[in-house]
Structure 1
């Protein structure tokens, strides 16, 4: 690598530190930390007394950065937690030729639409694989962790315990580059609500959270929870069929008066979107399955 390329990486690391972002070196041309592991820890310097991991050793000190990047063309890792950042990572499908598989960008746009929110304008970085990193400042006093898929398919987040590759770093597939230099926006409150620790236990949609004046039977509520969970966790190639089966299974509770149709439709629509199905496809499948089931189930006789 040329001297100019090493200088560019050094400048990028210093630029990140000037923003208050704690950086650490990644192996040249990769995403892997270049710092020693616990087994090979020399027990000196930063690690005097005990081993310190990359998150603890990340720095904004320009002198330390110049020493680290002065001779070796390290890529740049940003420790998101110490930097006060939450980064939303929008990935591309592994098999890019499959046009039916939505990208993280598409899924995130659909998530924003369902929440009645515009896609946030903030600092955006194009990854080497063609995905996007959306940078946000973490709420004051919050200590969010990482997440994988909690917001939707191909959407991860990095906060405490995580890091992202900084713009200016290079990979065999290309560079990490800023595509929108807007100021880093605060993490929107509605996204924080979805990522906050109290939401972490809600691995599936909780139908009881849907406002309704109707009191469903315990059996119907249990069925609604189970069917929406099945849709959420359906694999590619099985999602639409799983959604159809769920709609047919739940339609009888609508026919029997145990669940309002609007509650079932909303829960299944959200589950389908979580699984990565397009909204229009979800609506069509849900309507078909419910209509089929309701037509075949007579109103339950009063006890």
Structure 2
């Protein structure tokens, strides 16, 4: 077992992934904490956490794993990875509720994208880890439920248990595609925190004046989204976005006006910010495509 885990750690390191030991048969780091730090060795100049001590050095890996059958942790940030963690329902959860794989698939469907195919690891509990190369231009951190229920991400400040490790005798093992893909742009957009101060100013309608029925439509659709009941919220938001999107195509509304109004209504109804952004992007893109500006005079 120790030899197999050492190979798993070395294999991950060969990919350029920074590894560190986890306690045998657990997910817990096997490295000392700050309160117990001896201030010697790698911590001579101050305590170094697991993320800082994770390594790709094969000599250090062999020396560490020679002591015990440690599970293998991959520090996602230093490794240039973002891992999407699709969790499973806990034993005492309702069996009718969707798991992380289902809610992630629903998110992909709402945004009009296929479920990404990339290197995948099945966890000991039956969940899935989707590995992506992280974008170099932005430093992403961990999220919990931001994309969808039971869907977390691990990047800087996080780690995942590597394939070859075991929890209570159940293995982490690679399944499906072995090729590592870059993080899709649409997922990156959902994970990058919004910066309202950097948003462009709302443009004036191209007509130079507001038509009364446009204002009435905004009020009507915003109210419908805010009042939507659970189970109908996303569908209502999608319909409202498509309805108001035709006014964006005609020039009667700026896209940011619609996004701001419906984003606030969706969040007040109980949807997450990420869900609202994804649904609105899909709805407005569809509506603008299917309502070209040439239809403006006929409206």
TM value normalised by structure 1: 0.69
- C-alpha distance in 2, partners of 1:187/1:33? 27
Q: Deviations over 1:107-127 (max 9, x none)?
A: 111111111111111000000
Q: Note if 1:123 corresponds to 2:141.
A: no
Q: Deviations over 1:106-152 (max 9, x none)?
A: 11111111111111110000000000000000011321000000000
Aligned counterpart in structure 1 of residue 20 of structure 2, from 24, 49, 55: 24
Aligned counterpart in structure 1 of residue 174 of structure 2, from 169, 178, 182: 178
Aligned counterpart in structure 1 of residue 160 of structure 2, from 152, 161, 164: 164
- C-alpha distance in 1, partners of 2:95/2:195? 32
Q: 1:216 to 1:96 in 2, by over 3 A?
A: farther
Alpha-carbon deviation of 1:159? Answer: 0.2
The answer for the alignment partner of 2:70 in structure 1 is 74
Q: 1:113 to 1:274 in 2, by over 3 A?
A: farther
Query: SS at the partner of 1:39?
Result: helix
The answer for the alignment partner of 1:141 in structure 2 is 137
Alpha-carbon deviation of 1:99? Answer: 3.4
Aligned counterpart in structure 2 of residue 39 of structure 1, from 35, 42, 45: 35
**Residues 86 and 150 of structure 2 are in contact (CA less than 8 Å); yes or no, is this contact kept in structure 1?**
yes
Q: Note if 1:152 corresponds to 2:168.
A: no
Aligned counterpart in structure 2 of residue 99 of structure 1, from 95, 100, 104: 95
**Residues 23 and 79 of structure 1 are in contact (CA less than 8 Å); yes or no, is this contact kept in structure 2?**
yes
Q: Deviations over 1:72-104 (max 9, x none)?
A: 100010000000000000011113773320010
**Residues 117 and 177 of structure 2 are in contact (CA less than 8 Å); yes or no, is this contact kept in structure 1?**
no
Q: Note if 1:114 corresponds to 2:110.
A: yes
- C-alpha distance in 1, partners of 2:221/2:60? 58
**Residues 147 and 157 of structure 1 are in contact (CA less than 8 Å); yes or no, is this contact kept in structure 2?**
yes
Alpha-carbon deviation of 1:220? Answer: 7.2
Alpha-carbon deviation of 1:224? Answer: 6.7
Q: 1:63 to 1:101 in 2, by over 3 A?
A: same
Alignment of 1:236-251 (within 5 A): 239-240=230-231
Q: 1:38 to 1:268 in 2, by over 3 A?
A: closer
Aligned length: 241
The answer for the alignment partner of 2:282 in structure 1 is none
Alpha-carbon deviation of 1:273? Answer: 7.8
RMSD over aligned Cα atoms: 4.0
Where in structure 2 are there 5+ consecutive unaligned residues? 203-210, 241-257, 274-299
The answer for the alignment partner of 1:192 in structure 2 is 188
- C-alpha distance in 2, partners of 1:72/1:120? 36
The answer for the alignment partner of 1:6 in structure 2 is 2
Alpha-carbon deviation of 1:71? Answer: 3.0
Give every structure 1 segment of 4 or more consecutive aligned residues whose post-TM-superposition deviation is greater than 4 Å: 216-228, 271-275
The answer for the alignment partner of 1:65 in structure 2 is 61
TM value normalised by structure 2: 0.69
Query: SS at the partner of 1:77?
Result: strand
